[in-house]
């Protein structure tokens, strides 16, 4: 019997708002499946696995960059926004990917990197030639101080000053990341128009939306004033961490450009989706600013869970209560793992508890209010890979080794077959090694195990899709014994009680009048074993 929710009409579920409450699966193309033996995943490999992705029960995919690039930052240093890098395939492959995804009912979201380009991009090559060429003001250039030092104290995310001297112009250029990633001057309307033309190119090819990378780095403050220092800094591994990032990013004109992006996507129909990646101290406030009303972006991609050292009731409560559903408020998106952070189960659980932790955290993620992003391998319960220094490829990981886990450990290739070389990822030498500990978690083994994390993920995704209160409902914290995490999801008369135990101790609970409708780890309404969770409905609710 279908679920009837009072107050929810058919128009609330039209395809134009397919993204609201959707689950998207992030594909990191370099590490998904290699079809030509060069050790690097490619678009044909993704096409081969689209049936697998659709079989999970997700609503769409987010593709990390596949554009032409020297790969200094593995695709986030773009040399041509409108070209597929040959290591990934061709534009014909991309068009085939979109067509096949759509045939399977999957939406396709792609990364757009508007804050910077590669230093090999034709725009930058022209801009750096001299101070009077047509693109001279397309990047952030500034004169040195009288003593020859950089224009400001701004630091790069990847370490060292955010300014590099260029002798051709006798000026410094800004780069918030690698020196090979010069910052675009998006205050310049010509630059904005060029970026919008890029977006139009991909919309014309049928993509369903964009994830906008590090969007609060889009505009600097032209005053170039110094960032203030952090008082009493702790756990600082990079010079970047010693400053409050007030002036190298987060300019108040950023929403004006976001409004132009929204207007462009809307011209292709209301079903195109935009989500902002927002990082830094002010990320929560900026997420809300960039998604407020209906003139900016649809959603913001939160980092509260992604960079958390541990999962706790306080973290869930404070993060989720910031999104109340007030008028003109945007819609949040959440993820526990991605290509830029250590995998969640390695951050939040000891090695011997990770299989149970993988199930618990997948369940919890799928019960949160907002959109959900699942990172490739998360459905398998992959832990963060432990790589030796000589195996690292990520410039940030190398620069900060061994103080941080680095990003490479989250980017190792997908293990498809436990009995094949390189886990079935490639017949050649993979760009990153396939960890031996990932092979027992390979797709082929989990397909054959009805109790595997993979099959649980499919079940939970189906459960979320069936329960509209999980997709669209409000979220309210409830009082439960510490360290349990508890909240209700409400839509119309439908109320679901969600309770999770992230600890290694069993915890008793008395919740009369509730019936468990989904659970992991053996959870029951009266007892939650370690690393377990449940969703319950009121006993008098009629389906």
Average of pLDDT values for 9-30? 78
Residue 528 DSSP code: E
Contacts within 8 Å (CB) and 24+ apart, 159-165: 159/238, 159/239, 159/240, 159/396, 159/399, 159/400, 160/239, 162/248
- Kindly list the structural domains of the chain, giving each domain's residue range(s) and its CATH number in brackets, ordered by start: 17-118+188-461 (3.20.20.80)
Banded pLDDT at 6 (limits 50, 70, 90): very low
What's the confidence (pLDDT) of residue 13? 40
Average of pLDDT values for 218-247? 91
Closest CA to 60 of 416, 411, 306, 373: 373
What's the confidence (pLDDT) of residue 492? 95
Tokens in use for 72?
Answer: 């200094």
CA angle at 249 for the pair 243 and 251, rounded to the nearest 5°: 130
Measure Cα distances from 432 to 161, 388, 407, 429, 436 in Å: 29, 11, 11, 8, 12
pTM over 0.75: yes
Residue 230 DSSP code: P
Q: How far apart are CA 25 and CA 249, in angstroms?
A: 29
What's the confidence (pLDDT) of residue 542? 53
Q: Read off the pLDDT of residues 85-97 as tens digits, 9 standing for 90 and up.
A: 999 999 999 999 9
Average of pLDDT values for 426-450? 97
Contacts within 8 Å (CB) and 24+ apart, 147-153: 151/224, 152/224, 152/225, 152/226, 152/227, 152/247, 152/248, 153/226, 153/227, 153/243
Place of tokens 């009493």: 232
Tokens in use for 347?
Answer: 């951050």
Banded pLDDT at 380 (limits 50, 70, 90): very high
Alpha-helical runs (H) found in 344-418: 344-348, 354-367, 395-400
Average of per-residue pLDDT values in the chain: 94
Residue 14 has pLDDT above 50, yes or no: no
Place of tokens 């510490």: 482
What's the confidence (pLDDT) of residue 242? 93
Q: Read off the pLDDT of residues 188-209 as tens digits, 9 standing for 90 and up.
A: 999 999 999 999 999 999 999 9
What's the confidence (pLDDT) of residue 406? 83
Q: How far apart are CA 442 and CA 447, in angstroms?
A: 9
Q: Read off the pLDDT of residues 501-534 as tens digits, 9 standing for 90 and up.
A: 999 999 999 877 899 999 999 999 999 999 999 9
Alpha-helical runs (H) found in 268-382: 283-290, 313-321, 344-348, 354-367
Banded pLDDT at 15 (limits 50, 70, 90): low
| DSSP string covering 21-56 | T-EEEEE-GGGT--SSSSSS--HHHHHHTHHHHHHH
Beta strands (DSSP E) in 18-170 are: 23-27, 60-63, 67-68, 80-84, 107-112, 141-142, 163-166
The burial class, CB within 10 Å (0-12 / 13-18 / 19+), for 476 is middle
* Phi, psi for residue 301 in degrees, rounded to 5: -100, 105
Tokens in use for 477?
Answer: 């914290």
Banded pLDDT at 236 (limits 50, 70, 90): confident
Closest CA to 179 of 116, 85, 135, 268: 116
Q: How far apart are CA 286 and CA 252, in angstroms?
A: 10
Alpha-helical runs (H) found in 385-430: 395-400
Residue 469 has pLDDT above 80, yes or no: yes
Average of pLDDT values for 257-267? 98
Q: Hey, which residues are catalytic here?
A: 213, 277
CA angle at 206 for the pair 373 and 259, rounded to the nearest 5°: 70
Q: How far apart are CA 248 and CA 57, in angstroms?
A: 41
What's the confidence (pLDDT) of residue 24? 98
């Amino acid at each position: 019997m279908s679920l009837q929710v009072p107050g929810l009409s058919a128009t609330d579920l039209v395809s134009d708002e397919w993204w609201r409450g959707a689950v998207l699966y992030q594909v990191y193309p370099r590490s998904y499946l290699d079809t030509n033996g060069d050790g690097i995943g490619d678009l044909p490999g993704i096409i081969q696995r689209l049936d697998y992705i659709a079989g999970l029960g997700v609503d769409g995919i987010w593709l990390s960059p596949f554009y032409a690039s020297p790969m200094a930052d593995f695709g986030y240093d773009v040399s041509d926004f409108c070209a597929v890098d040959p290591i990934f395939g061709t534009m014909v492959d991309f068009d085939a990917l979109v067509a096949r995804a759509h045939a399977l009912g999957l939406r396709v979201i792609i990364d757009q990197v508007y804050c910077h380009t590669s230093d090999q991009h034709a725009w930058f090559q022209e801009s750096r030639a001299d101070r009077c060429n047509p693109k001279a003001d397309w990047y952030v250039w500034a004169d040195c101080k009288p003593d020859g030092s950089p224009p400001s104290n701004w630091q790069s995310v990847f370490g060292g000053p955010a300014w590099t001297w260029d002798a051709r112009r006798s000026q410094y250029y800004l780069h918030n990341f690698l020196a090979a990633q010069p910052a675009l001057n998006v205050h310049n309307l010509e630059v904005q128009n060029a970026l919008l033309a890029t977006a139009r190119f991909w919309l014309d090819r049928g993509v369903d939306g964009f994830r906008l990378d590090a969007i609060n780095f889009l505009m600097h403050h032209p005053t170039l004033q110094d960032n203030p220092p952090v008082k009493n800094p702790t756990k600082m591994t990079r010079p970047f961490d010693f400053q409050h990032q007030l002036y190298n990013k987060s300019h108040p004109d950023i929403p004006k450009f976001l409004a132009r992006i929204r207007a462009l996507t809307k011209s292709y129909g209301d079903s195109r989706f935009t989500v902002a990646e927002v990082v830094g101290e002010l990320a929560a406030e900026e997420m809300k600013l960039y998604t407020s009303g209906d003139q900016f972006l649809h959603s913001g991609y939160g980092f509260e869970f992604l960079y958390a050292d541990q999962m706790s009731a306080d973290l869930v409560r404070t993060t989720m209560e910031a999104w109340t559903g007030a008028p003109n408020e945007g819609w949040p998106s959440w993820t526990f793992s991605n290509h830029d952070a250590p995998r969640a189960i390695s951050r939040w659980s000891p090695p011997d508890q990770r299989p149970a932790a993988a199930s618990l955290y997948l369940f919890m993620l799928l019960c949160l209010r907002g959109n959900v992003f699942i990172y490739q391998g998360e459905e398998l319960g992959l832990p963060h890979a432990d790589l030796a220094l000589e195996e690292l490829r990520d410039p940030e990981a190398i620069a900060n080794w061994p103080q941080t886990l680095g990003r490479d450990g989250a980017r190792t290739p997908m293990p498809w077959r436990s009995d094949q070389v390189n886990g079935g990822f490639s017949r050649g030498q993979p760009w990153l090694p396939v960890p031996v500990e990932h092979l027992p978690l390979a797709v082929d083994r989990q397909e054959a195990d009805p109790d595997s994390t993979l099959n649980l993920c499919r079940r939970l995704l189906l459960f979320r899709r069936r329960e509209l209160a999980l997709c669209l409902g409000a979220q309210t914290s409830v009082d439960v014994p510490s360290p349990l995490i508890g909240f209700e999801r409400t839509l119309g008369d439908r109320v679901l009680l969600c309770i999770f135990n992230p600890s290694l101790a069993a915890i008793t609970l008395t919740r009369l009048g509730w019936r468990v409708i989904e659970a992991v780890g053996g959870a029951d309404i009266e007892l939650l074993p370690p690393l377990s969770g449940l969703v319950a409905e009121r006993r008098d609710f009629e389906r």
